Amino acid sequence: MASSIIDRTLGAVFIGFAIACSVYGVLLAQIFSYFRNYPGDKLIFKFLVVIILLLETVDQCFIGHLVYYYGITNYLNPITFAKANMTWSLILQLTVGAIVGAIVKVYLGFRVWRFSDRNLWVTGLILLLALGQLGLASAFTVQAFKLPSIFSVHQLQTLGTISLGVGVCTDIITAGALCFFLNRLRTGLRSSDSLVNSLCNYAINTGVLTSTVSVTVLLLYNVAPSNNLYFVATYFILSKLYAISFMATLNTRRNIKGRGTDHQGETTNHTNLFHLGTRMPSMGPRDLEQWDKVDPPFFAQQTYSQESPENSFHNYDGKFTVL
């Protein structure tokens, strides 16, 4: 009996912690790759990356504290496992995960705004759902501090289910909106349509991954017996998947750009996708504020200037200019 309790509580938390550590390592590799390959990126992106790194590091520390509490502090104490005493670290971990998810969803919402030619209705819906879920998660946090044990979170089942459900809906709507508006940018050119296909694939893959994990947490929370921590262990990796999807969006900009615009063999000028499929200069309209522009590293600037002295750095719009 005691062994079964430990498996459902400490065992589940330990496995979730191990998987979360692995996913956290992938995130660190993505962040390292970002700062190495995009040293001239916009300051807002660098700021968001640092914020997400700090939040996910704190998140991982909270998970570690929970494992330490059950595995070290209460070693060979099955009564603690049976009661599943609530810890402050678990509650705050849920909150930090919700904050990271909200940041990523808001960022993707602004990508929808950009590709939809500033469609306020769709973008507003995505932002409303993202911030609404954050508000629901904050309310869940306040109520969770009043609970005596982790098993008691099922008393907040309605609030938790709505919060997770809103998150799933946000992912699906965001991925669907990106694919819809991107498909409207098709020009009939093989290179441009290839770029649209690549962007749609990234949107679908990231949306499916986070939605699948969210649905899994939702099912374990509502269907599985209340005397286990399976849903908690699954939730450990959810925010890190959002963070990885955010970093993947930043890190793949140059690769996607190259496939769609930088290596065109049919045309002599660079093209980009703006305003429902029209062919525009690769920097796009000025009022879009060069949304995802990436400046080349310093050494690339020097090399380019030496090879083409007549061209200034500000006129450079080749391989480092991305969607």
Query: How far is 110 from 68, CA to CA, in rounded Å?
Result: 39
The pLDDT of residue 203: 79
The three-state (H, E, C) secondary structure of 279-321, written as one string = EECCCCCHHHCCCCCEECCHHHHHHHHHHCCCCCHHHCCCCCC
H runs (alpha helix) in the chain:
2-6, 12-37, 43-68, 78-83, 88-115, 120-144, 157-183, 190-222, 230-235, 238-251, 253-257, 298-307
Query: How far is 160 from 142, CA to CA, in rounded Å?
Result: 12
Interior angle at CA 132, CA 131 and CA 137, nearest 5: 95
Residue 264 — φ and ψ, nearest 5°?
-75, 130
- By CB atoms closer than 10 A (0-12, 13-18, 19+), residue 200 is middle
As a whole number of Å, the CA-based R_g of the chain is: 23
Helix axes of 43-68 and 238-251: crossing angle, nearest 10 degrees: 160
Which of helix, strand or coil describes residue 45?
Answer: helix
Can you give the pTM of this predicted structure?
A: 0.77
Task: Per-residue pLDDT tens, the chain, 323 aa: give them.
Answer: 456 777 877 888 899 999 999 999 999 999 999 999 999 899 999 999 999 999 999 999 999 999 998 888 887 777 777 777 788 998 999 999 999 999 999 999 998 998 888 889 999 999 999 999 999 999 999 999 988 888 888 889 899 999 999 999 999 999 899 888 888 877 777 777 777 777 788 778 777 888 899 999 999 988 887 778 888 899 999 999 999 999 988 888 765 554 432 233 333 333 344 333 333 333 333 333 444 554 444 444 444 444 444 444 344 343 333 44
Token pair recorded at residue 281: 């200069």
The pLDDT of residue 191: 72
Residue type, 108: L
Token pair recorded at residue 146: 């009043």
The pLDDT of residue 292: 52
Look up tokens 């909106």; give the residue: 177
Query: How far is 261 from 149, CA to CA, in rounded Å?
Result: 56
- Full DSSP string of 102-131: HHHHHHHHHHHHHHTTS-HHHHHHHHHHHH
**Is the four-CA dihedral 209, 211, 215, 218 of positive or negative sign?**
positive
Residue 89 per-residue DSSP state: H
Query: How far is 233 from 238, CA to CA, in rounded Å?
Result: 10
Token pair recorded at residue 165: 């459900």
